[in-house]
A = this chain, B = another copy of it.
Amino acid sequence: MFKPNEDYLKLPGSYLFSTIAKKVAAFQESNPDKKIIRLGIGDVTKPLPKAVIEALHKAVDEQANAETFRGYAPDLGYEFLRHAIAENDFRARGCNIADDEVFISDGAKSDSGAIQEIFSKDAKIAVCDPVYPVYVDSNVMAGRCGDYDENTGMWSNVIYMPCTAENGFAPELPSETPDLIYLCFPNNPTGEAITKDQLQKWVDYANKVGAVIIFDAAYEAYISEDNIPHSIYECKGARTCAIELRSFSKNAGFTGLRLGATIIPHDLKVSFNGKEVEMHSLWARRHGTKYNGAPYIVQRAGEAIYSPEGKVQVKEMIASYMKNAKYIYDGLKEAGYTVYGGKNSPYIWLKTPDNMTSWEFFDYLLEKANVVGTPGSGFGPSGEHYFRLTAFGSYENTVEAINRIKAL
Contact = CB atoms under 8 A, between A and B. Distances in A.
Most buried by B among A45, A180, A257, A272: A257
B3 A137 contact: no
A53 B60 contact: yes
B290 A119 contact: no
Contacts of A380: none
B72 A290 contact: no
Contacts of A3: 119-120, 122-123, 179, 270, 272
Contacts of A275: 9
Contacts of A8: 118, 282, 285-286
B282 A5 contact: yes
B69 A46 contact: yes
A113 B64 contact: no
Contacts of A14: 285, 288-289
A73 interface: yes
Interface in A63-121: 63-66, 69-73, 106-107, 109-110, 113-114, 117-121
A200 to B, nearest CB: 20
Contact of A119 (B2, B109, B118, B141): B2
A272 to B, nearest CB: 6
Contacts of A288: 14
Q: How many monomers of this chain does the complex have? A: 2
A66 B45 contact: yes
Interface in A370-408: 394
Given A14-B288, A63-B47, A179-B2, A73 B106 contact: no
A4 B118 contact: yes
Interface size class of chain A, counting residues whose CB lies under 8 Å from the partner chain: 35 or more
A71 B110 contact: no
Nearest to A285: B8
A8 B179 CA distance: 18
A57 interface: yes
Contacts of A45: 66, 69, 71
Nearest to A123: B2
A273 to B, nearest CB: 8
Contacts of A194: none
Interface stretch (A32-40, A147-155, A295-303, A328-336): A295-303
B272 A4 contact: yes
A308 interface: no
Contact of A109 (B47, B117, B291, B294): B291
Nearest to A124: B2
A312 interface: no
Contacts of A9: 272-273, 275, 277
Contact of A258 (B69, B133, B209, B292): B292
A334 B183 CA distance: 64
Contacts of A41: 72
Interface string A211-234: 110000000000000000000000
B43 A69 contact: no
A9 B64 CA distance: 41
A396 to B, nearest CB: 12
Contact of A257 (B65, B143, B179, B295): B295
9 tightest Cβ-Cβ pairs between the two chains A and B:
A113-B290, A1-B210, A3-B120, A43-B71, A71-B255, A2-B179, A109-B292, A53-B64, A47-B69
23 contacts: A1-B210, A2-B212, A3-B120, A3-B123, A4-B272, A8-B282, A9-B275, A46-B66, A47-B69, A48-B63, A53-B64, A56-B63, A56-B297, A63-B256, A63-B257, A71-B255, A113-B289, A133-B289, A137-B289, A138-B290, A257-B297, A258-B295, A295-B295
Given A8-B286, A258-B293, A258-B294, 13 more contacts: A3-B122, A3-B270, A4-B270, A5-B120, A6-B120, A9-B275, A47-B63, A47-B69, A53-B64, A56-B60, A57-B60, A106-B106, A141-B286
